[in-house]
Structure 1
Amino acid sequence: MRLALAALLALPAVAGAAELDGAALSLAWGVPFAGLLLSIALMPLAAPAFWHHHFGKVTAAWALAFLLPFGAAFGPVAAAAGVVHALLAEYLPFVILLTALYTVAGGIHIRADLRGTAGVNTALLAIGAALASVMGTTGASMLLIRPLLRANAHRTRQAHVVVFFIFIVSNAGGALTPLGDPPLFLGFLKGVAFFWTFTHIGPQTLWLVGVLLGLFYALDTWQLRRDPGAPAVAAAVGTARPQATRIVFDGQINFALLGLAVALVLLSGVWKSPLAWDVAGTRVGLPGLVRDAGLVAVTLLSLALTPRGVHAANQFNWAPMQEVAKLFAGIFLTIVPVIAMLQAGTAGPFGAIVAAVTRPDGTPDPAAYFWATGLLSSFLDNAPTYLVFFNTAGADPAVLMSALAPTLAAISAGAVFMGANTYIGNAPNLMVKAIAEDRGVKMPRFFGYMLWSFGILLPLFAVMTLVWFR
């Protein structure tokens, strides 16, 4: 979940960027962000050993490539205050929430005599899609990726299973409620009704998830027949006596902690308090402070109350979380000027993108909003991108939920669904990839994954455009 990134849209000039005029910035300010993305995409291919050991240093180098020129141009006070703002208002809340969900989900071990057949795998993906809108895409992903990997550990071809898991559980499944994905939660905070997304993009979600499950079942059946372990699996399944699958959950206390984490996030959105503290120009409100402190407590309670055997059975370790934390530290910082330029609208360097979503008669074009929001969400993070186009469409929730409902539906669908287009489109994508690789799965690299996503998802999005967003 990357809800915290949305605050970048209000970065003040000495403490952030409300006065960082995106219209006056050149595209050169986006070079560190682009460089970091290219490093994530290319260095694991060009220098895998170097990247594995030094990706944190590379990320820090790109962050300094933005921060030092920023300090020279706007002054060291502005640079220091910008770091404080990114740390307190964006990065720490993001990492705290993600760590809590990662820890709690990692403290639940599902014991079941499951074998990775096409039917079992498809059922797990369907369950994950249903859970994603209740416990968030991060929570559902962390809960189910390990049982899925264990069920398929005997297979030599597993990458496609994880790719479709990212498509369905880590992204599309979270589209039905504000709890499912950060962009929708931001809309909820802006005044969009809790069940609005369920009624207005529910059909699109069910169609997309249903088609993806059907495609996966066909592909997994074909892959299983080509897998060297397939005969043994077929024999084991065919000779086993019919009996109900026994599913046991270890670490059940974490279900209660997960509910507490969701409640804390929801409370921070509906609780309004005038009490706040100013830290180097960054406003730290009481609701956010209570949420973050509560989530830290949830994390510590999970670590203390979860039996060690559960973590051992899950092969729980901090490597995936460390990778995401380091990479997104750089992304949070270097994305600042990019968001400011987008926020400048038609007057900014990305004015052509903003203008492209408006028809000649001045009315919004839902299809253009769907693709613009989605494609930018694939690379820039879907939470702030959602807010950019929410504001571009007028930012009036009453109007957007009624007269401009097709436009808000397009923005919501684009932000959530197209987060699956790249590994960096949504935080759970990278975490799932890291966990799979830690278990020995040979995952496609950055562009290899995009071959999967563009080849499968973009045609489905084109059909969705013709049916719902014309």
Structure 2
Amino acid sequence: MIQKLLLGACLAVSPVLANAAGLNGAELSMIWAVPFAGILLSIALCPLLVPHFWHNHFGKVAVAWGLLCAVPLYIVYGTTTATGAIAHAIIGDYIPFIIFVGALFVVAGGIHIRSSFEGTPLMNAGFLFAGAMLANVMGTTGAAMLIIRPLLEANKNRKYRMHTFIFFIFLVANIGGSLTPLGDPPLFLGFLRGVDFFWTTQHLFLPMISTVLFLLLIYVILDTIVYKKEDQKTIHFKEKEPFKVEGAINIVFLAGIVGSMLLSGFWKSGISFEVLHVQLTLESIIRDVLFLTFAGLSLAFTPKVAREGNQFSWDPILEVGKLFFGIFCCIVPVLEMLRAGHNGAFAPLVALVTNADGTFNNHMFFWLAGSLSSFLDNAPTYLAFFNLAGGDPMLLMNEDSHTLMAISMGSVFMGAMTYIGNAPNFMTISIVQERGVKMPSFFGYMVWSVGILVPTFFLMNMFFI
């Protein structure tokens, strides 16, 4: 009886045949976005309203929302279509995503930088700038996991430090990774679709460095003010420790991960395998196997003292894995509606990117791609707007270069707007909270991001787009 009622409700809002050939975003109504909205609200509200329950059961909540999306898909569209849609999200996107993020987490977590860094405003700004630059060669995840622990150690005696890790999310976990396809997944997707490797370096350097320096100026001013309020007797290290890198073998493994990603982008084997209607290329399979191999080598050869010095634990990556499993399931119909463009439920939003004369509205490309990337997975959001702009890489790199700039900047920069905008955001939160740093709630963080980032992005949009 319940199954019949659910079937009737779903068909009423999405009148398609159960044996439809594929999941057509143009035929999906906004009710299919309810599970995605539900998991977002759970992430935002449960830690505030029911913290004990959330801490112990967040994984079950994520799976429950995922099932609430997947089960109706099977009922309405049938096994073939639903399995294909879910498999594309899990096998095609989630598993490679979690393997990549997990490998970087393990390898970077094995590098312990030991020294007597003191968390002064200029020292902290130096860490943030270095992390932003490193994000372009080892990804935002790798840079965040490498820099976060020495930054925590440098500020362990400070009372006012929450703002430092908020700016860390802004700069290292997001904005910094905008100069190469290695920096952030959206740019890597563009690279796979024909955008030149150094195109983003050439066209996004000025917007990126301007944004980073502007935010660092705000940070230094803010941190200088609160630094003067610190008890100067407690914040200085009494024992100096010489600079030392423990677990340096992991630098080789990091280089291996970067090389594996480049290999999958440049090498076209022409060999593919189909698993549950998902086409997997030989190069992508080899890439993921190499990621796992380097993670295994890191676990095997990293000195125990290095991970102990980092207070390494599996909790951050487990939290990301559980929550993003639910997010990747719930996002399936939402992305299909977005891909449907002018024919989908998001048509009013999509219409905003085209001017009356048929030209592209680059300002709206920036804000819409960015706003959706703040809550959706920024990689497929980038791809949806890339295709909406014509999908021709040669045209987008030349005549429509400002459109591609707008899509790239929005997708990468605005991942910093929420905790779920990019995987390193969650991992950073988990690690700093493990170390006793109190961080703002989901909405509390957005007060910071909206108050600081939105005016900053408005300026960057005005000057560069």
State the TM-score bracket (shorter-chain normalisation): over 0.9
CA contact (8 A) 2:22 2:81 kept: no
Q: Are 2:48 and 1:45 aligned?
A: yes
The 10-residue stretch of structure 1 (81-90 or 103-112) with the greater mean CA deviation from structure 2: 81-90
- Cα deviation per residue 1:374-424 (whole Å; 9 max; x = unaligned)? 111100121111111111111111111111011111111111111100011
What TM-score do you get using the length of structure 1 for normalisation? 0.93
The 10-residue stretch of structure 1 (276-285 or 203-212) with the greater mean CA deviation from structure 2: 276-285
Provide the C-alpha distance between the structure 1 equivalents of 2:161 and 2:385, rounded to a whole number of angstroms. Answer: 37
CA contact (8 A) 2:132 2:177 kept: yes
What TM-score do you get using the length of structure 2 for normalisation? 0.94
Q: Are 2:367 and 1:382 aligned?
A: no
Give the counterpart of 1:166 among 162, 165, 169: 169
Shift, 1:464, TM fit: 1.3
Shift, 1:246, TM fit: 4.2
Cross-structure match for 1:352: 348
Cross-structure match for 2:3: none
Give the counterpart of 1:76 among 79, 85, 100: 79
Q: Are 2:325 and 1:322 aligned?
A: no
Shift, 1:157, TM fit: 1.8
Cross-structure match for 2:178: 175
Give the counterpart of 2:455 among 435, 453, 459: 459
CA contact (8 A) 1:132 1:169 kept: yes
Structure 1: unaligned runs, 5 residues or longer:
1-12
Cross-structure match for 2:150: 147
CA contact (8 A) 2:23 2:85 kept: no
Cross-structure match for 1:367: 363
Residue type at the aligned position of 2:287: R
- Cα deviation per residue 1:272-313 (whole Å; 9 max; x = unaligned)? 122222222222211111011111111110000001111111
Instruction: Please give the residue correspondences for 1:196-275 in structure 2 after superposition, counting only pairs within 5 Å.
Output: 196-227=199-230, 229-233=231-235, 246-275=242-271
SS of 2:156's equivalent in the other structure is coil
Give the counterpart of 1:301 among 297, 303, 321: 297
Give the counterpart of 2:37 among 34, 37, 45: 34
Residue type at the aligned position of 2:57: H
SS of 2:90's equivalent in the other structure is helix
Give the counterpart of 2:336 among 337, 340, 346: 340
Cross-structure match for 1:19: 22
Instruction: Please give the residue correspondences for 1:424-439 in structure 2 after superposition, counting only pairs within 5 Å.
Output: 424-439=420-435
- Cα deviation per residue 1:123-154 (whole Å; 9 max; x = unaligned)? 11111111111111100000000100111011
Cross-structure match for 1:313: 309
CA contact (8 A) 1:106 1:316 kept: yes
Residue type at the aligned position of 1:176: L
Shift, 1:233, TM fit: 3.3
- Cα deviation per residue 1:26-79 (whole Å; 9 max; x = unaligned)? 100000011000100010011111100000010011011111111110113433
Residue type at the aligned position of 2:267: W
Give the counterpart of 2:438 among 437, 442, 458: 442
Provide the C-alpha distance between the structure 2 equivalents of 1:266 and 1:205, rounded to a whole number of angstroms. Answer: 22
- Cα deviation per residue 1:169-195 (whole Å; 9 max; x = unaligned)? 111111111111111111111111111
Aligned-residue CA RMSD in angstroms? 1.8
CA contact (8 A) 1:17 1:340 kept: no
Provide the C-alpha distance between the structure 1 equivalents of 2:21 and 2:42, rounded to a whole number of angstroms. Answer: 29
Shift, 1:224, TM fit: 1.3
Give the counterpart of 1:189 among 179, 187, 192: 192
Cross-structure match for 2:9: none
Cross-structure match for 1:103: 106
- Residues 396 and 81 of structure 1, relative CA distance in 2, 3 Å threshold: closer
Cross-structure match for 1:4: none
CA contact (8 A) 1:366 1:407 kept: yes
Cross-structure match for 1:8: none
Residue type at the aligned position of 2:250: N
Provide the C-alpha distance between the structure 2 equivalents of 1:98 and 1:284, rounded to a whole number of angstroms. Answer: 19
Provide the C-alpha distance between the structure 2 equivalents of 1:232 and 1:299, rounded to a whole number of angstroms. Answer: 38
The 10-residue stretch of structure 1 (46-55 or 267-276) with the greater mean CA deviation from structure 2: 267-276
Shift, 1:18, TM fit: 8.2
Residue type at the aligned position of 2:328: F
SS of 1:110's equivalent in the other structure is strand
Structure 2: unaligned runs, 5 residues or longer:
1-15
- Residues 92 and 140 of structure 1, relative CA distance in 2, 3 Å threshold: same
CA contact (8 A) 1:95 1:325 kept: yes
Instruction: Please give the residue correspondences for 1:403-414 in structure 2 after superposition, counting only pairs within 5 Å.
Output: 403-414=399-410
Cross-structure match for 1:415: 411
Cross-structure match for 1:5: none
Cross-structure match for 1:9: none
Cross-structure match for 2:464: 468
The count of residues paired between Structure 1 and Structure 2 equals: 449
- Residues 205 and 441 of structure 1, relative CA distance in 2, 3 Å threshold: same
CA contact (8 A) 2:110 2:298 kept: yes
CA contact (8 A) 1:135 1:262 kept: yes
Shift, 1:231, TM fit: 4.2
Provide the C-alpha distance between the structure 2 equivalents of 1:61 and 1:277, rounded to a whole number of angstroms. Answer: 31
Provide the C-alpha distance between the structure 2 equivalents of 1:302 and 1:337, rounded to a whole number of angstroms. Answer: 38
SS of 1:380's equivalent in the other structure is coil
SS of 1:379's equivalent in the other structure is coil
Residue type at the aligned position of 1:276: S
CA contact (8 A) 1:379 1:425 kept: yes
CA contact (8 A) 2:342 2:348 kept: yes
Provide the C-alpha distance between the structure 2 equivalents of 1:81 and 1:351, rounded to a whole number of angstroms. Answer: 25
Provide the C-alpha distance between the structure 2 equivalents of 1:247 and 1:453, rounded to a whole number of angstroms. Answer: 34
Provide the C-alpha distance between the structure 1 equivalents of 2:197 and 2:110, rounded to a whole number of angstroms. Answer: 29
Provide the C-alpha distance between the structure 2 equivalents of 1:145 and 1:390, rounded to a whole number of angstroms. Answer: 32
